[in-house]
Structure 1
Amino acid sequence: MKLSFKKTYKFAVKSTFYISLFSTGFVLLLVTMIFDYTSKKLWLFGIVFTLILYLFSFIVLQYRVERFIYRRVKKIYDEVSLLESSSFINQPITTDMETLTREVRKFATDKKLEIEMLQVREEYRREFLGNVSHELKTPLFTVQGYVSTLLDGAMDDKTIRKKYLKRAEKGVERLIYIVEDLDMITKLEVGDLNLEYSEFDIVELIQNVFDLLEMKAEKKKITLAFENYHIQPNFVRGDKDRIQQVIENLIVNSIKYGKKGGLTEIAVVNLTKEKVLVRVSDDGEGIEKQNIPRLFERFYRVNKSGSRSEGGSGLGLAIVKHIIEAHKEKIYVESEFGIGSEFSFTIEKV
């Protein structure tokens, strides 16, 4: 590490001034008490003595300060350089303790924040790997169990064979569903998924999703409806298939966590001249406040046991967030536990 040495003269100047002031005053006092000098000679002696003493003291003090402090400060910089903080290494070495203290404090604060961030990421990584393992393990063990049973002799019974093969197929389908969602969210995160923009009627698209999910909603007697019964066509610009996926995921969640005989409403609002707001609200169980900030994390589930029994990959909301952000838009969530939830997102208006 190449170090540049930034000198500071403040300490030497002030210290020399105090030494010279005291020494000159003391010497002049002694001279007037012991010797018989005229005022003119006394003043001349005082000035010469002060100048010589000041220069000598300054040189000695500055040299000693540089030697004394520099050696110790250099050790600090050398030790800090082991941590490879380029912003700190590139700073010139200073013998000014105030500056050094400020730099070291800033360095320590930055390192503390970096360590805390790494700890958060490590915790997230462990939790993510645990969730992936759990999500994949369940269908894998299901498929393994049915296949093992068939191999152990149940294959000879046509009825059991067909039933078990169908169940194993469902397990494989769930595995494929999880892997496809993981692949999509990875592409969204790194920006490899290209969006195909087109102009389409968002109201018509929502109606198509209603038709697709009608039977799923009927199982829980949940009504799917527009907030405004006389809603007019509203043309927007975006990737039609991806926006449909967003709306489908939000409505599926509202059905999954909605109460029996409940209502899921969709509103399409002209937010500004350039933006349309799509709002999906339900009267289900709602979400507790502490869970809201983590809703869009991969595999995060508010009710882990209940939601797993409902199926799904646990990646729905994470995909929704990434698709909306890929459109350079925003997604919002509001929820009150026991009352219901509302998800909304913006999209560019034609």
Structure 2
Amino acid sequence: MNKENIFLMSGRGKMMSLRSKIWASYIIMIIVPLLLAVLSARLILINYEQDHQLQIIETAQEEKLKEHMDFLNELENTLVNQPDNLKNSFYLTYLNDKISSFDMGVLIQYNGEFKYNSVSVNAEKLKPYLSKFLQQDITGRWVSATTKDYIVKCRAFTYSDETPGLIYLFMNRTAPWDTPPDHTGYVKWVFLIFIICIFLTNSFLTYRLSKSLIEPLDSVKKAAKEIQNGNLDYPISYPVKNEIGDLYQAFEEMRLKLKQSQALNAQYENSRKELVSNISHDLKTPITAIKGYVQGIIDGVANNPAKMDKYLRTILTNAVEMERLTNDLFLFSKLDIKQLPFSFECVDIKKYLEDAGEELNFTLNVENISLNYESYYESNDLIMADRQRLVRVIHNIMENAKRHLNKREKEIKIVLREEKEEALIEISDNGCGIPADKLPFIFDRFFRVDCARNRTTGGSGIGLSIAREIIEAHQGRIWAESTEGWGTSIFFTLKKVDYFVAYQN
């Protein structure tokens, strides 16, 4: 085994089944949206916190401080009109008591040094952060900022001795009154609903996919196993017109064709057995006759020239009959496998049938059968035909007609008519006719109208079947009409040259 085959086999081994692919798709449909949703929610929250945190906090702070406008106004008035009060220990005690009631702290800076601190954190540790306020214009106005633990408002002022001062108000961020609205809970619920919708949607889609794909394929698999076991009577159908429906239809058409092929093969087998039986019967009779007459010659029974001549002619007749049977069988087998060559040429059909009638008339006169030929072919258009094969068609139809002639005056007629694209030939007899229920089958292989076979009326049952194969090879049509008790007419058509060439192209 070469490397390429090994690679292909290993590739097939690694291929996922359709069911596995569906489950993999289902898992991917869950995981990928989940990861994207988590990432999106995280980015939304981060962006929300970064962009709106300060605004929310300031809004909450302002709302709280509005409740204490008297205190702020008082503090603002002190900073503007009596800034030295911030050096007075009694005022600072009062300020500390007042501001503590609001869960706030105060930090006062005098000429860059911290003079008062009611915050629990060492003021020196806050210097790096508080220095950021110095980078802004905070003269005569409050500026807000946030740290990890506090909300800070800062304002610059000037003592009476022109010394600069700074005051910081610290508000605990964990205080219940300044906690921003809990938008994260809303986002979490939205996220949870989003996940539930994804899960339900994917579950529903997977269920529908399983119902519309896996179950129908299982039905096809079961039907295939039934066919594999030889059961061709297991129909399947799909009510929906889609790809699966097309698959079911194709599978059902295949089943019907297989069943038809099986029935046809059985019919061929029965026909083959019947043919072997018929040929054996037909060959046995002439062989027996030949053996008997040869033995008579050997034993000296033909002891005079007249008997000898009779014996030899009988032997010749039976040998000719055997040759005809074997030729029919050989020709039929060639036609059946489409290996019989044809040599088409332009033929003057009127002249051709006249010549054929003269040759046939000689043989038919010996058997007291009259042959009449009538032509209604008015143009000089030629037809396309294989002369040798066409003779065989006429001969086989004549032989069939001869077997059914049962009247005192036996007659066969050939009539030529003209149609637009083809010539129409009719060969009719005045015999016993063919029953209506058997007429559609007379061109089937091995079919014989006569139920009781004998040397006189029997035949191999393939003469008309050979005629049909040859006419169809000429792109013509062949059919029969019959009235029981009055006779039978067999019709066939031959294409004119122009239409034959056009059909070929």
Of structures 1 and 2, the larger Rg is shown by 2
Does structure 2 conserve the Cα–Cα contact (< 8 Å) formed by 1:296 and 1:321?
yes
Matched, 1:158 2:278: no
Structure 2 residue aligned with 1:118: 262
**How far 1:263 moved relative to its partner?**
3.3
Structure 1 residue aligned with 2:283: 139
Identical pairs, percent: 21
Does structure 1 conserve the Cα–Cα contact (< 8 Å) formed by 2:293 and 2:315?
no
TM-score by length of 2: 0.50
**How far 1:271 moved relative to its partner?**
0.4
- The two structures, once aligned, show a CA RMSD in angstroms of 4.4
Equivalent in 426, 432, 436 of residue 285 of structure 1: 432
Structure 2 residue aligned with 1:211: 358
Give me the whole-angstrom Cα distance separating, in 2, the residues matched to 1:113 and 1:161. Answer: 59
Give me the whole-angstrom Cα distance separating, in 1, the residues matched to 2:413 and 2:338. Answer: 32
Matched, 1:257 2:404: yes
Does structure 2 conserve the Cα–Cα contact (< 8 Å) formed by 1:249 and 1:320?
yes
Q: Which moved more, 1:75-84 or 1:260-269?
A: 75-84
Does structure 2 conserve the Cα–Cα contact (< 8 Å) formed by 1:128 and 1:298?
no
Q: For the structure 1 residues 42 and 332, does the alpha-carbon distance in structure 2 shift closer, same or farther, using more than 3 Å as the test?
A: farther
SS at match of 2:394: helix
Q: Which moved more, 1:323-332 or 1:74-83?
A: 74-83
Does structure 2 conserve the Cα–Cα contact (< 8 Å) formed by 1:250 and 1:343?
yes
**How far 1:148 moved relative to its partner?**
6.1
Structure 2 residue aligned with 1:176: 323
Give me the whole-angstrom Cα distance separating, in 2, the residues matched to 1:336 and 1:3. Answer: 68
Structure 1 residue aligned with 2:194: 51
1:44-123 pair list within 5 angstroms: 49-58=192-201, 103-104=247-248, 107-108=251-252, 110-123=254-267
* 5+ residue gaps, structure 1: 13-39, 85-95
Structure 2 residue aligned with 1:344: 491
Q: Which moved more, 1:211-220 or 1:262-271?
A: 211-220
Give me the whole-angstrom Cα distance separating, in 2, the residues matched to 1:214 and 1:73. Answer: 68
**How far 1:46 moved relative to its partner?**
7.4
Relative contact order (C-alpha < 8 Å, sep 6+): which is higher?
Answer: 1
SS at match of 2:405: coil
Does structure 2 conserve the Cα–Cα contact (< 8 Å) formed by 1:264 and 1:283?
yes
User: For each residue in 1:59-115, what CA deviation from the matched residue of structure 2 results, as whole angstroms up to 9, or x when unmatched?
Assistant: 56667888999987786666666668xxxxxxxxxxx9x976874575355324412
Q: For the structure 1 residues 119 and 8, does the alpha-carbon distance in structure 2 shift closer, same or farther, using more than 3 Å as the test?
A: same
Q: Which moved more, 1:227-236 or 1:205-214?
A: 227-236
Q: For the structure 1 residues 202 and 158, does the alpha-carbon distance in structure 2 shift closer, same or farther, using more than 3 Å as the test?
A: same
Give me the whole-angstrom Cα distance separating, in 1, the residues matched to 2:412 and 2:392. Answer: 17
**How far 1:162 moved relative to its partner?**
6.2
Q: For the structure 1 residues 101 and 235, does the alpha-carbon distance in structure 2 shift closer, same or farther, using more than 3 Å as the test?
A: closer
SS at match of 2:328: helix
Does structure 2 conserve the Cα–Cα contact (< 8 Å) formed by 1:295 and 1:317?
yes
Does structure 1 conserve the Cα–Cα contact (< 8 Å) formed by 2:346 and 2:385?
yes
* 5+ residue gaps, structure 2: 1-11, 27-182, 229-239, 498-505
Matched, 1:267 2:411: no
Give me the whole-angstrom Cα distance separating, in 1, the residues matched to 2:378 and 2:196. Answer: 94
Structure 2 residue aligned with 1:331: 478
User: For each residue in 1:18-40, what CA deviation from the matched residue of structure 2 results, as whole angstroms up to 9, or x when unmatched?
Assistant: xxxxxxxxxxxxxxxxxxxxxx9
Does structure 2 conserve the Cα–Cα contact (< 8 Å) formed by 1:334 and 1:341?
yes
Q: For the structure 1 residues 213 and 310, does the alpha-carbon distance in structure 2 shift closer, same or farther, using more than 3 Å as the test?
A: farther
Q: For the structure 1 residues 211 and 132, does the alpha-carbon distance in structure 2 shift closer, same or farther, using more than 3 Å as the test?
A: farther
Matched, 1:318 2:465: yes
Amino acid at match of 1:52: I
Give me the whole-angstrom Cα distance separating, in 2, the residues matched to 1:81 and 1:75. Answer: 10
Amino acid at match of 1:187: K
Structure 2 residue aligned with 1:5: 18
**How far 1:302 moved relative to its partner?**
0.7
Does structure 2 conserve the Cα–Cα contact (< 8 Å) formed by 1:131 and 1:299?
yes
**How far 1:164 moved relative to its partner?**
5.0
Aligned pairs, number: 308
Give me the whole-angstrom Cα distance separating, in 2, the residues matched to 1:240 and 1:74. Answer: 56
Structure 1 residue aligned with 2:371: 224
Determine which structure has the larger helix proportion and give its number: 1
Does structure 1 conserve the Cα–Cα contact (< 8 Å) formed by 2:350 and 2:375?
no
Q: For the structure 1 residues 163 and 311, does the alpha-carbon distance in structure 2 shift closer, same or farther, using more than 3 Å as the test?
A: farther
Give me the whole-angstrom Cα distance separating, in 1, the residues matched to 2:347 and 2:207. Answer: 79
